[in-house]
Amino acid sequence: MSKRYDYSLYGKEPSKGGGSGMLLPAILFVIVLLLALILYKVATREPDETPSTIRRTTTVRGTDMDGTGSEASGKHVYDEEPTTTEDPNRIQILNDEPEPTRVGEFLKRWPADSAIENLHDARGLMESLGGRPDGPTALQGVTVILDPGHGGIDGGTVYPASPPHTHIEKDIVLDLARRTRAVLEGRGAEVVMTRDSDEWFSIYHRAAQAGQLILDRTRAALAGTPKTTDWLDEMDQYMAHIRSLNQDRGGGSVIGGAGTQRQARELYDLQRQYPEVIFLSLHINSFTDPAVGGLQVYYLTNESYYNYEAVTVGGPDPNMKPVYQNYDSDARYNLAMAVVNTLSIDVPETKTVGGPQPLISDRGFVVLKCMGLNTVLVEVGYMTNPDDRVRLQDPAYLDRLAAALGRSVYQYFCQ
C-alpha cells in the first residue's frame, strides 16, 4: 500500500495529474534561490554614502604652553561631506610652511610675507601723517611704546662700580622716558610705558607687553564683526604666561629660543600690520675704555637677524626653528636713522667718540627680534665716559635729549 502524504499545508491535495509530485521541490528550490539572492545582495551592498553624519579624522596642531610644537588627533563631525575644514569666521593662517633651505645656507627661513590675514589697514593713517606740520596734533594716531631699561633689582650700568652708586642707569633712563613721554604727548601721540616706576620687568616681559597691546587693539577692532577670537585667546595665554615667568633666561615661551617658533611668527606678522606703533628702548652704555662715549642706536633687519642667528648657532641644527623674515627692514632702518640724525643735530654732545659707529644692526636683542613692530634700542651715552656721565645727571641735558627723541619720532612719521 502506497504511503499517503499530508498536503494540508497548501490547503488542498495536489492533483493526480502527471508531474504533480515535482511541485513542492520546485517551490522549495525557488525559495532557497530567493534567499540566496537576498543574502548575496546584503553581503555585496555598497556602503551608504549619505548617513546622517560622516566622521572624519583630521590632524590638529597643538602647542604646549612652553612653546614646543605637538600634534594631536582630533575628531570632527560633519552633517554632510565638507568642502573645507576652515571656519570662514576664524582668523585665517596663511602660508604656514617654512621655505626650503637655500643653497649655501643651513638655516631655514619663514616666508617674507604674512601668516595672518589682514586684520588692520593703516595705509590711510600713514599717508595722512606724511607732511603734517609740527604741532600739538602732528602725531595724532601714533603710539610710541617707551621702554626704560632695567629697574628694580636690576640697576643696569652704574658708577662707581662699587656701592654707594652716584649714577644708576635705571633711574636716569626712567627720568628720560618720562620727559620724552611729555614731549610726544605734546605732539598728540599716545605713549605706553613698559614701566613707570622702579620695578623690574624681564626683556621677554617687555616684548610680551608690546604683543599684548596689539592683541588688545585687534580684539577691539573685531568687536561687532563675525570674526571669532580663538587665535587671539591663544596668544593672550602665551603673553600672560611670559609675563608671569618674568625671566630674562628661559622666560620667553613661544618668543624665546633660537629661530622663531610658529606662534611667534604669527604674532609678529600681526604686529607688522601696525606701522603706526613703534617701540623705543632707552639705555646707557658702558665700556672698558673711558674715552669711548656718545650715541649708539641698534636696529635689526631681516638679513642682519638671519646672519646673527647663523653665527650664534654656528652650524646645522635639526631642532632649530626657521628664522623670521618679515620685519619691515626699510622702516626699521629709517627709524634708527631718524634717531641718529636728529640727536646728532639737536644734541651734538651725543656724537660718538673713540668707539663704534652710532648705527649698529648686528645685535639680536630681544626687544629688537621678538616683535614685528618697528623698534630701536637707543644708548644715549656711556656711563663709563666722564663727560657723558656728568651730562646725564643734568636735568636740562635730559630735557634736550627728550626733545630730540620726540622730534626724531616726528621726523620719522611726518617728514
- Residue 22's pLDDT is 56
Pairwise CA distance, residues 75 & 60, whole Å: 9
Query: By the 8 A CB rule, do 255 and 63 touch?
Result: no
Vertex 306 angle, CA 301 and 308, to 5° = 95
Q: Pick the closest to residue 215 from 184, 193, 246, 236 (CA basis).
A: 236
Instruction: Identify the helix (H) or strand (E) that includes residue 398.
Output: helix 395-414
The residue with cell 644708548 is 379
25 pLDDT higher than 50: yes
Residues 6+ apart with CB under 8 A from 337: 359
Pairwise CA distance, residues 66 & 370, whole Å: 16
Pairwise CA distance, residues 333 & 218, whole Å: 26
Least confidently predicted of 52-56, 125-129, 130-134: 52-56
Query: By the 8 A CB rule, do 301 and 363 touch?
Result: no
Give domain 143-414's CATH superfamily.
Answer: Zn-dependent exopeptidases (3.40.630.40)
Domain boundaries, the chain: 143-414
| Burial group, residue 77, by CB count within 10 angstroms (0-12, 13-18, 19+) | exposed
Query: By the 8 A CB rule, do 310 and 328 touch?
Result: no
Q: What are 145's three cell numbers?
A: 611704546
What is the length of the chain? 415
1 pLDDT higher than 70: no
Q: Residue 27: what residue type?
A: I
Least confidently predicted of 30-44, 137-151, 186-200, 232-246: 30-44
Q: Residue 81: what residue type?
A: E
Pairwise CA distance, residues 378 & 357, whole Å: 13
Pairwise CA distance, residues 144 & 90, whole Å: 30
- Residue 34's pLDDT is 67
Q: What are 171's three cell numbers?
A: 633711574
Give mean pLDDT, residues 262-291. Answer: 98
Average pLDDT, the chain: 86
Q: What digits encode the pLDDT tens for the residues 74-113?
A: 333 333 444 445 688 999 999 889 999 999 999 999 999 9
What are the beta bridge partners of residue 54? 78
Q: Give, as one character, the DSSP assignment of residue 283.
A: E
- Residue 360's pLDDT is 93
Q: Pick the closest to residue 261 from 320, 325, 211, 204 (CA basis).
A: 320
Residues 6+ apart with CB under 8 A from 29: none
Q: What digits encode the pLDDT tens for the residues 178-223?
A: 999 999 999 999 999 999 999 999 999 999 999 999 999 999 999 9
Angle between helices 395-414 and 329-346 (to 10 degrees): 140
SS3 309: helix
Query: By the 8 A CB rule, do 256 and 250 touch?
Result: yes
Q: What are the distances in angstroms from CA 140 to CA 82, 135, 168, 216, 334?
A: 47, 10, 34, 19, 20
Query: By the 8 A CB rule, do 103 and 258 touch?
Result: no
- Residue 87's pLDDT is 84
Query: By the 8 A CB rule, do 78 and 56 touch?
Result: yes
